[in-house]
Chain A
């Protein structure tokens, strides 16, 4: 039973090569084509909030006094901390009056705001809580401690086993 016409092995090699070629041409650029330009960041304080019927406009004065008018779209993401410091994260469209209320609090508390926007349409608005960013040094410490603990622990474990085995080999060889 000679299945020469079914030489799947070399057919699969050719098909595999072809497929890699097509995939590199076709899929990636379709995906990454809609990545439109760089987003900019503004750090500053909320000076005024006007909400017209179709969208809400925030005017922000940044550290050196320049005033920007930022338009909040439906999918802008808000990450605002209240006085106690708990972070509240939600999309603007999910709960508009709650978001407006929170933005007003931020305005009264004059808390520093970081806005990530693309040609005036805001992607995300977050409280730049620099003081509690300092406090999370403990996360930094935990990560580095765990990293080095695991690396050196593994290293020591390996070298100890290596030494034991070396001795055993010497013992067995001498016997």
Chain B
């Protein structure tokens, strides 16, 4: 059975689906509830992997943008676009899970806490990349400028994280509650579930990128066919 391009992706997605189901079982059934925060602590198994996913996405965007500027090969630009789109969704989830975790535990949706500020700015960076690319007239320059934004955005990410920490140190937000020390209470099962969720969400991220990449490739193919037809 010749593995063609398309059904390789189907296998990959089905495989990810299975892994996701196992992961859900682990999160909701297998891992014990953490004594300090109760059930809400299970958001950790979504928040951390998604944060790791959006970080990975911005790195992929940066790497493929540099390669595109260096090699001028179309393939790198497609990877950058797909990584940015899935990265935007992961960034939105990171922001949402962060806020919905803060609400029950700290009593407020938004505090000056470093991680929340950082995830908001990262999310805006992704949106800026996608909007700028959509509003720029089509062509080689559009790809080149998006690559430049990708690189600047990626270089900015650690700097923003650093600034958010400095900002939090200068203006400590009123976090009254055990969540502030959630990581001081890690038992064996919690670490295992967390690692497994990180693996699952990396698989989800790569399958999204993979799918978006093939879609982009086919779009280019259609453009080529139309050009040859006229």
Q: Given A79-B177, A90-B174, A140-B39, are A133 and B104 neighbors across the interface (CB < 8 Å)?
A: yes
Q: Are B180 and A31 in contact (CB under 8 A)?
A: no
Asked whether any CB of chain A lies closer than 8 Å to the CB of B11, the reply is no
Interface residue stretch chosen among B64-72, B141-149, B211-219: B211-219
Asked whether any CB of chain A lies closer than 8 Å to the CB of B120, the reply is no
Residues in A neighbouring B127, C-beta threshold 8 A: none
Q: Please, how many angstroms separate the alpha-carbon atoms of A15 and B193 in the complex? A: 44
In whole Å, how far is B111's beta carbon from the nearest beta carbon of chain A?
A: 10
- Say which size band chain B's interface belongs to: 35 or more
Residues in B neighbouring A147, C-beta threshold 8 A: 46, 50, 93, 96-97
Q: Are A77 and B174 in contact (CB under 8 A)?
A: yes
Main secondary structure of the interface of B (DSSP, over half): helix
Q: Are B89 and A151 in contact (CB under 8 A)?
A: yes
Interface residue stretch chosen among A2-10, A52-60, A66-74, A123-131: A123-131
Candidates A38, A124, A140, A161; contact of B184 at CB < 8 Å: A38
In whole Å, how far is A47's beta carbon from the nearest beta carbon of chain B?
A: 21
Which residues in window 109-124 of A have CB below 8 A to B? 114, 116, 123-124
Residues in A neighbouring B86, C-beta threshold 8 A: 154
Asked whether any CB of chain A lies closer than 8 Å to the CB of B192, the reply is no
Asked whether any CB of chain A lies closer than 8 Å to the CB of B154, the reply is no
Which residues in window 192-230 of B have CB below 8 A to A? 204, 207-208, 211-212, 214-215, 218-219, 221-222, 225-226, 229
Q: Are A144 and B218 in contact (CB under 8 A)?
A: no
Q: Are B176 and A77 in contact (CB under 8 A)?
A: yes
Candidates A78, A150, A154; contact of B176 at CB < 8 Å: A78
Which residues in window 54-85 of B have CB below 8 A to A? 85
Q: Are A140 and B218 in contact (CB under 8 A)?
A: no
Q: Please, how many angstroms separate the alpha-carbon atoms of A151 and B23 in the complex? A: 15
Q: Are A169 and B222 in contact (CB under 8 A)?
A: yes
Asked whether any CB of chain B lies closer than 8 Å to the CB of A158, the reply is yes
| A residues with CB within 8 A of B | 27, 31, 38-39, 41, 75, 77-79, 87, 89-91, 114, 116, 123-126, 128, 130, 132-134, 136-137, 139-140, 142-144, 146-147, 150-151, 154-155, 158-159, 161-162, 165-166, 168-169, 172-173
> Can you add 12 more A-B contacts, CB < 8 Å, to A143-B46, A147-B97, A162-B218?
A38-B184, A39-B184, A89-B107, A91-B174, A124-B180, A128-B36, A133-B40, A147-B46, A150-B92, A165-B215, A165-B222, A166-B218
Between-chain CB contacts (< 8 Å), 15 pairs: A38-B184, A41-B178, A116-B178, A116-B181, A123-B180, A128-B36, A140-B39, A143-B96, A144-B46, A155-B211, A158-B208, A158-B211, A162-B211, A166-B6, A169-B225
